[in-house]
Structure 1
C-alpha cells in the first residue's frame, strides 16, 4: 500500500469522523448545521425529533465512510465499497424520511 492509498483511507476516515460529530450535534437538538432552506418548515415542537432523525442519518453516513476507509486499508480491493454504500443508502433514507415527515417536503 502506497502513500496515496494510505492518504485516501485517511481522508475517508476523517470525513466519516466529521459527519459523525455533526450527527451527534444534530441528535442533541442543534439543527443549525442543516441548511436553513431544508429546515424552514420544521415547527419548534418537531425540532428535537427532526434533529434526532437527521443526526442518526448523518451518523450512519459517517460510520459507513469510516468503515469503508478502514476496509480499504485492510481488506481486498473492492470490499471497502460495501459499508460505504450501505451506510449512505440507510443514512440518506433516514434523512429523507425526516425531511418528508417534519419539513413536509424536500424543500
Structure 2
C-alpha cells in the first residue's frame, strides 16, 4: 500500500463572510420622491387640475429636498456613494417647489388684475 492511499485528509470547509458595500438609502429616497414630485408637479400650471396637483406634489417635493440634503451629507461620509441620486432628487424637488411658487404668484397676480379691472 502506498503512502498516498493511507493518508486521506478530510475536506475542509472554508466559510467566507460576504461584505456588502455601503449604500445611501437617503439618496435613493430623495430620488424616488423627486420623481414623484415632478411627475405630479408637471400638471401644476393647468388651471383647475393644477390646484389639486399642487397639493399632491408639495409634500414629496419638500421631502425630496430634505432627504437630498441628508443624502449628500451621507455621500461625503461614504466616499461619494449616492451623490448623483441625492443631487437629482434635490434638483427635482427644488424645480417642483419653484414651479408651484411661480404658478401661485401668477395666479395671485391674475386674480388681482381681474378684480381691479372690474370684470
TM-score by length of 2: 0.39
Q: Which has the larger radius of gyration?
A: 2
